[in-house]
A and B are shown apart, each in its own frame.
Chain A
Amino acid sequence: MNSELSTLQKVDASLKRRLRKEFLFRTTGMLATAVGVVFLAVFFATLIGKGSSAFKQTYLLLDIELSEEVIAPDGEMDLAYADFDGLVRTALRRGLPEASGRSERREMNRLVSIGAGYQVRDLITASPELLGTTQTLWVPAAANVDMLIKGNIDAELDESLRPLSDRQIAWTEKLRIDGRLKSKFNAALFSNGDSREPELAGIKGAMMGSFFMLLTTIILSFPIGVAAAIYLEEFAPKNRWADLVEVNINNLAAVPSIVFGLLGLAVFINWMALPRSAPLVGGLVLTLLTLPVIIIASRAAIKAVPPSIREAALGIGASQMQVVFHHVLPLAMPGMLTGAIIGMSRALGESAPLLMIGMIAFIVDVPGGFTDPATALPVQIYLWADSPERAFAERTSAAIIVLLAFLLLMNLAAVLLRRRMERKW
């Protein structure tokens, strides 16, 4: 029967079928993309919704009398043992005179962070001439007060079910009406190390830890990775050994990161006796982790250099080395850098290998070098996510936002760098 139809009719018939198939395929693709976009939007919305409040922190205004009797009882300043917390408590009592009795006062004292005492100590250390005066200071409120102000504690709940008592809520309200309560930018988040008190906890320690670690990683892994890629691509004899090396590099790229942590623990800490929890060791482990990625990306970039350029240089009498350094490397560099930055992004987000080399410790001091005990941003997120305090939840989200911002910046740098180097011709 078919043979009676003209070619045109056959084409028409098949065209309908083809168009339907194409429509189906397009719709599926659009749906898949839409699902991805929705998930991403939800992810960012919840993250920013939960985390953005951590960039603000509630502060209390207190008139603190820097009394000589407390700070310098014997005429000389006793910064180590003086009762700075007592000064803060006295000032708070002056603001809320209605509290009476020991237990009520103790409740009242919990409105202010213990960081207030440190703040007073730091102030008097920096300017001893203030001794004997009364200073009006904004000191951090306790995390629970902060949570109440941010609406994270439900005042309608039964008293036994919330961390703040009725009295504390009433005092907070009074302070707020008096204008002694204010929400300010949470500078502590970026200038402090970790702390058991959420209102004092910051990510500077983790950021510096990550910084020193990534610095170690990039300094080691980029030159080693590129050198290995050049050797394997351009100089190594193509034999069974080269195949073996190639297979192993590809396998290494797929090894779970925690295994590299175990390797680091065994080699760098136990055998080479490098310090535990140090960014140096973390950087070395992350170097092992990123090397395969960089080598594979660099080899691909070298392979992508057109052979005609190589032949042209060889034909003029360039040595193998000159071909590589004058022609292949400049053309492969954008691809290599992209690979390196992708490797770095992966290293920045790694936490599992760091757990094995002691970078999961609770470290309060901000590290100042490669061998100081430190932790890293993803590990800090992990630690905070584990904390029961309500206030750590928003700080966890805030730390994730900071981490993502860094990742985004690095990827942006990769794109810009690539575009700049490729624009050459």
Chain B
Amino acid sequence: MTESPPETRIDDARVQVVELGRRTVGSVQCENPFMVAQNVNVYYGDNHAIKDVTLEIGKKQVVALIGPSGCGKSTFLRCLNRMNDSIDIAKVTGEITLDGQDIYSKAQDPVALRARVGMVFQKPNPFPKSIYDNVAYGPRIHGLAGDRAELDNIVHSSLERAGLLAEVKDRLDDPGTSLSGGQQQRLCIARTIAVNPEVILMDEPCSALDPIATARIEDLMDELCEDYAIVIVTHSMQQAARVSKRVAYFHLGHLVEVDDTDKVFTNPQHKLTEDYITGRIG
């Protein structure tokens, strides 16, 4: 087989990335870094999905990952709790540390990592179990509760913090799937914080919800970031502007720009970022 000729119709965006030396503009550093990704590359077979991304995620802050579809922001998110491990063809290089420990080292068990780095998914995915069992599942498998009373306590406080307790406290034995979409997503958040993680990853948590449910989740994030580091992937720039302290803009696998949210949205440094937030790329 002969090498295929280099693509002739490269879009402007890619050309610019190449021209600008693939360097991330803005500041990848932050105060109090808790999770640090350095020169992370991800390959799906031959597809180079994440290219040399370096990013620090601070304690008690919300970092939003934005960018057009297929830019790699979800892939990067899934690297942070090694969810890509279950994809056979995925290969991750570079270094990601959590509180100074390399999460891709041999000594690191992905199961233990995911107890520290929880995840909330795009589509609400409660287990086909009762509301109580949904929240109690994590504490149960990790052995966090010594007895039933302690478990009850964890379940109640998790539901409380997810803002769901008032709505479901009389029907904890109902199936989790009987709740509305927004309630299900808050149930999934309660399920995640029941394990008491240090970082919460959210992969477009509001894309399947109506505006009211979205507003509730955003409020919730404001409260949760007082205790956890939160990384959120979102397609909505308004949402990123509302909830995040820092914003990272991904484009075709590159981390183009990262900085404080107000800086990026008011005064983007990179042409691509500007095009995206003004609606010219989408």
Shortest Cβ distance from A82 into chain B, in angstroms? Answer: 71
Interface range for A: 20 to 34
A312 CB-CB contact with B under 8 Å? yes
The reply to whether B88 and A237 contact each other, CB–CB distance below 8 Å, is: yes
CA distance A313 to B127 in the complex (A): 8
Instruction: Flag whether A327 is at the interface (Cβ < 8 A).
Output: yes
Complex Cα distance A331/B137, Å? 16
- Chain B nearest CB from A420 CB (Å) reads 15
A81 in the interface (beta carbon within 8 A): no
- Interface window among A146-154, A315-323, A335-343: A315-323
B175 interface residue (CB < 8 Å to A): yes
The reply to whether the CB of B27 lies closer than 8 angstroms to some CB of chain A is no
A309 to B123, CA, bound (A): 11
B114 partner residues in chain A, CB cutoff 8 A? 314-317
* A residues in contact with B120, CB < 8 Å: 315
Q: Does A104 contact B (CB under 8 A)?
A: no
Complex Cα gap A237–B88 (Å)? 8
Q: Which of B36-44, B65-73, B187-195, B257-265 lies at the binding interface?
A: B187-195
Interchain CB contact under 8 A, B127 and A315: no
Which chain A residues lie closer than 8 Å to B125 at the CB level?
A: 306, 308-309, 311-312
Residues of B within 8 A of A311 (CB): 83, 119, 121, 125
| Bound form: Cα–Cα A319–B86 in Å | 11
Are B83 and A314 in touch, CB under 8 angstroms? yes
| Cβ-defined contact, B192 with A316, below 8 A | yes
- A238 contacts B by Cβ under 8 Å: yes
State whether the Cβ of A424 lies closer than 8 Å to any Cβ in chain B: yes
A271 within 8 A of B: no
Q: Which residues of A contact B112 (CB under 8 A)?
A: 317
- The complex places the Cα of A330 from the Cα of B129 at a distance, in Å, of 11
Within the complex, what minimum Cβ distance (angstroms) separates B252 from chain A? Answer: 25
Chain B residue with the shortest CB-CB distance to A238: B88
- For residue B124, which residue of chain A has the nearest CB? A308
Contact partner of A312 (CB less than 8 A), chosen from B113, B115, B188, is B188
Alpha-carbon distance between A195 and B202 when the two chains are bound, in angstroms:
74
| A317 CA / B194 CA spacing, docked (Å) | 12
The answer to whether B111 touches A317 (Cβ under 8 A) is yes
A322 & B141 in contact (Cβ 8 Å cutoff): yes
Given A238-B88, A317-B195, residue A312 in contact with residue B175 (CB < 8 A): no
Known: A313-B127, A315-B81, A316-B192. A308 touches B121 (CB 8 A): yes
Tell whether B205 is near chain A: CB-to-CB under 8 Å.
Answer: no
Tell me the complex Cα distance, A319–B114, Å.
10
Let me know if A309 and B83 touch, CB within 8 A.
no
**With A and B bound together, what is the CA distance between A315 and B137 in angstroms?**
12
Partner of B195 from the list A310, A312, A316, A331 (CB cut-off 8 Å) is: A316
Contact in complex: B126, A318 (CB < 8 Å): no
Query: Contacts of B86 on A, CB cut-off 8 Å?
Result: 310, 314
Residues B128 and A317 in contact, CB atoms below 8 Å apart: no
Q: Within 8 Å of chain A (Cβ to Cβ): is B97?
A: no
A425 at the interface (CB under 8 A from B): yes
The B48-91 residues at the A interface (CB cut-off 8 A) are 81, 83, 86, 88
Question: Nearest CB to that of A312 among chain B residues?
Answer: B125
A315 touching B141, Cβ below 8 Å: no
**B contact residues around A318 at 8 Å (CB):** 111, 137, 141
CA distance A62 to B178 in the complex (A): 73
Which of A306, A308, A316 is the most central at the interface, judged by chain B CB atoms within 10 Å of its CB?
Answer: A316
- Determine the chain A residues whose CB is within 8 A of the CB of B118 once the complex forms: 315-317
* A424 lies within 8 A of B128 (CB): yes
Measured CB to CB, the closest approach of chain B to A69, in angstroms, equals 79
Report the minimum CB–CB distance from B4 to chain A (whole Å): 26
* Contact indicator A327/B127 (Cβ below 8 Å): yes
A240: min CB distance to chain B, Å: 13
Cβ of A316 and Cβ of B141 under 8 Å apart?
yes
A313 vs B118: C-alpha distance when bound (angstroms): 11
Q: Is B138 an interface residue (CB 8 A)?
A: yes
Produce 1/0 per residue, B124-146, CB < 8 A to A. Answer: 01111000000001100110000
Which A residues lie within 8 Å of B191 (CB)? 312, 316
Selected contact of A315 from candidates B83, B126, B128, B177, CB within 8 Å: B83
**Which listed residue, B121, B123, B142, B177, touches A317 by the CB 8 Å rule?**
B142
Contacts of B177 in A (CB 8 A): 425
Q: Bound state CA distance, A327 and B123, in angstroms?
A: 18
Report yes or no: A315 in contact with B119, Cβ–Cβ below 8 A.
yes
Once bound together, how far apart are the Cα atoms of A327 and B137, in whole Å?
Answer: 11
Q: Which residues on the A side are within 8 Å of B113 (C-beta)?
A: 317
CB distance from B122 to the nearest CB of A (A): 9
Q: For B86, B115, B120, B177, which residue has the most chain A Cβ atoms within 10 angstroms?
A: B86
Q: Please, which residues of chain B bring their CB within 8 A of the CB of A425?
A: 128, 175, 177
A311 to B86, CA, bound (A): 9
B98-117 contacts to A, CB under 8 A, are 111-115
The 3 A-B pairs of least Cβ separation, nearest first, read A315-B119, A308-B125, A317-B115
A residues whose Cβ falls under 8 Å from a Cβ of B: 237-238, 306, 308-319, 322, 326-327, 330-331, 424-425
Q: Which residues of B pack against A, CB within 8 Å? A: 81, 83, 86, 88, 111-115, 118-121, 123, 125-128, 137-138, 141-142, 175, 177, 188, 191-192, 195
Jot down 27 A-B pairs with beta carbons below 8 A, ordered by A.
Answer: A238-B88, A306-B125, A308-B121, A308-B123, A308-B125, A311-B119, A311-B125, A312-B191, A313-B127, A314-B83, A315-B81, A315-B114, A315-B119, A316-B115, A316-B137, A316-B191, A316-B192, A317-B111, A317-B113, A317-B115, A317-B118, A317-B141, A318-B137, A326-B137, A326-B141, A424-B128, A425-B128
Task: Apart from A315-B118, A316-B195, list 5 A-B contacts with CB within 8 A.
Answer: A309-B125, A311-B119, A312-B126, A331-B128, A425-B128
